[in-house]
Structure 1
Amino acid sequence: MEENTYPQKLLAEMLGTAVLVFIGVGSVPATLIVGGDAPFTMAQLGMISLAFATAVIAMVYAIGHISGCQINPAITLALAATKKMPWRDVPGYIAAQVAGAVLGALAIVGVLGKKAVDVGLGIAAYGTGVGAGQAFFAEAIGTFILAFIVFGAIDRRAAGGFAGLAIGLGVFAIIIPVAPATAASINPARTLGPMITGELFNGTVHWDQLPVYLAAEVIGAIAAGVLYTALNAHRKAAAATAAENRAAQPASAEGALS
């Protein structure tokens, strides 16, 4: 089967991440603008989660066959760390994802105007009373679950055609408990894009929190990839042993007949 060129893959990753940020992150200021001074509710969090989920589902089916629709540097690093993609492709993928995130955040400002910046632009930040340790744990757990779902969904033994739905619903579920602590970024590009754009438009950006987000997300994703690979390694070893036993059986039979 013919494979897309590397530039095509990078363009797809940039576009996919831009759409993720525009729709997912953009739903945050959109909700706050429409809601006005009304208290933020679980129903609003559910709509934001749904926006992220549908964006992921749509992009998996739109560009998954082109670039894999990783649209997340943490996932890219986890795939490379587990030898599911070459390290030489990683810098380009991450650069495309971050560029796409910035473009997506710029599109939010273009559509919603300065009001989007005034209400925070969906920039990830710790929740009230949340410290660095709690934030690290929240982002690491959230990204771990996301990456584990991704590895399972793209496994060749998984049910065909459901990867996008599984990953999208996973994103929806993860955001609900994690968002109150850290806004549930679970994606270094989604973290960086709005921060960079917010800085350009004089928004409030907590740059001191960035290292915690990036470290937690990368560590969580790689840990999930390593664990999933370890689970498969055991299965492969068992399959290899069974194959060796089957190969040995005919030889034993021949020895008995000679």
Structure 2
Amino acid sequence: MKENTYLQRLLAEFLGTAFLVFLGVGSIPATLMLQKTGKTSFTMADLGVIAFAFAMVVVAAVFAIGHVSGCHINPAVTLALAATGRIPRREVAGYVLSQCAGAVAGAGAVVAVLGARAVHLGLGVASYTSPTSASQAFFAEALGTFILVFVVFGVVDQRAPGGFAGLPIGFAVFAIAVAVGPVTGAALNPARTLGPMLVSGPAGGPVDWSQLPVYLGAQVLGGLLAGQVYMAMNRLRTIAA
């Protein structure tokens, strides 16, 4: 049976994550620019539009590159799959580096298309503000990532109905973004978190680096827990004849 090479899979992860950040994260400054009010806050309608953009690009990416690389486009997914033996651990570093590089490229593309004002408006950098505490933000990101990765494990299960994996994952992204977005921005993805920061920070955009460990720690923990819980819940036992 023929399969894609490792380099082809890394390229797919790079492009998929770049698309996610350009279209998903890019929808945040684009929405603020359309408001023409100079504000950096969102209405529920704005949040719905942004959540829909993220959901749709995830659905599209799954159908576009799922058969090439698995369409992780998220280090939390990659780490969870490796921790449960679903992918070889030797491939993790390449996947994660490709995803992070893609996120940086996607954030750079947002600036190239929307201009310097996108940086001034925050470039979609995930952050939390008062009265949200660090512990509250950690729990929100961990829970949101847990739900997302749990759904991913469900749709890639060989017993799951095939042919439409992108839809339930996209639905989950939309729902989580609506619920968690007002608290932390619902990043749910270490690459999506890091990419805009690495582009916005050097360009003079508002970046609070002290929050980065909260996001990354929560996302990795949530993903790893989701993988372990799903595998424990679905572990089949042998029934004697």
Shorter-chain TM range is: over 0.9
Separation of aligned partners in 1, 2:76 and 2:42: 29
Unaligned runs of 5+ in 2: none
Give the corresponding residue for 1:211: 213
Q: 1:61 aligns with which of 36, 60, 63?
A: 63
Separation of aligned partners in 1, 2:130 and 2:33: 21
Amino-acid identity (%): 59
Give the corresponding residue for 1:118: 120
CA RMSD of aligned residues (A): 0.9
Give the corresponding residue for 2:80: 78
Tell me the TM-score normalized by structure 1.
Answer: 0.91
Q: Any residues of structure 2 matched to 1:57-206 within 5 Å, and which? A: 57-206=59-208
Number of equivalenced pairs: 239
Tell me the TM-score normalized by structure 2.
Answer: 0.97
Q: Which runs of 4+ in 1 moved over 4 A?
A: none
Give the corresponding residue for 2:21: 21
Separation of aligned partners in 2, 1:21 and 1:177: 20
Separation of aligned partners in 2, 1:200 and 1:69: 29
Separation of aligned partners in 2, 1:110 and 1:128: 31
Q: 1:41 aligns with which of 40, 43, 52?
A: 43
Q: Which has the higher helix share?
A: 1
Give the corresponding residue for 1:249: none
Separation of aligned partners in 1, 2:3 and 2:171: 28
Give the corresponding residue for 2:3: 3
From the CA coordinates, give the structure whose radius of gyration is larger. 1
Can you list the C-alpha shifts for 1:216-254, whole angstroms capped at 9, x where unaligned? 000001100000000121xx11xx1x2xx22xxxxxxxx
Unaligned runs of 5+ in 1: 247-258
Matched-pair contact (CA < 8 Å) for 1:127–1:183:
no
Can you list the C-alpha shifts for 1:103-131, whole angstroms capped at 9, x where unaligned? 00000000000010011100000034111
